[in-house]
């Protein structure tokens, strides 16, 4: 079992630092040749734009330069049939930035895929975690 049983009476004292529990991360990428039009970084950035309404704030919240965020979003828009981010994208101090319905759909689909994958693979994931000394 990956975790020590927490219900026994011989639990270690709370002052003992807990070992990091192993956990499973699913990441999905869309590859097209060498390019990765959709992956976890761009989805996280889209989510940050949706949450903050601003590329500047989204970049800041992810510890990323404005320039890098802008380039990623621009590449994303360019790789989609219709853009994920509204074209009213202002400058660094420009007006708010909003996701298009396609952008909202992209996030929802991506996160649903991760959740569906984790659920469908639950038994094998437990099996794998049991192999790990965590």
Least distance from its own copies to the Cβ atom of residue 18, Å = 10
Cα–Cα distance measured from residue 43 to residue 66, given in angstroms and rounded to the nearest whole number: 16
Contact call for residue 51 and its own copies (CB under 8 A): no
Q: Which helix (H) or strand (E) holds 79?
A: helix 66-79
* Number of CB atoms found within 10 A of residue 48's CB: 19
Indicate the angle between helix axes 40-52 and 101-120, nearest 10 degrees. 130
Contact call for residue 25 and its own copies (CB under 8 A): yes
Q: Which of 3, 27, 67, 68 binds its own copies (CB under 8 A)?
A: 27
For binding to its own copies (CB under 8 A), which residues are involved? 19-35, 37-38, 78-82, 102, 105-106, 109-110, 112-113, 116-117, 119-121, 124-125, 127-134
């Amino acid at each position: 079992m990956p975790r020590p049983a927490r219900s026994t009476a011989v639990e270690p004292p709370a002052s003992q630092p807990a070992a990091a529990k192993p956990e499973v991360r699913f990441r999905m990428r869309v590859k097209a040749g060498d390019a990765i039009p959709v992956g976890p970084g761009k989805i996280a950035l889209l989510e940050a734009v949706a949450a903050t309404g601003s590329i500047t704030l989204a970049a800041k919240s992810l510890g990323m330069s404005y320039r890098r965020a802008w380039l990623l979003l621009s590449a994303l828009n360019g790789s989609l049939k219709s853009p994920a981010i509204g074209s009213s994208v202002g400058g660094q101090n420009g007006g708010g930035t909003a996701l298009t319905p396609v952008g909202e759909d992209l996030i929802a689909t991506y996160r649903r895929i991760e959740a569906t994958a984790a659920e469908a693979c639950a038994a094998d994931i437990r099996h794998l975690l049991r192999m790990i000394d965590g």
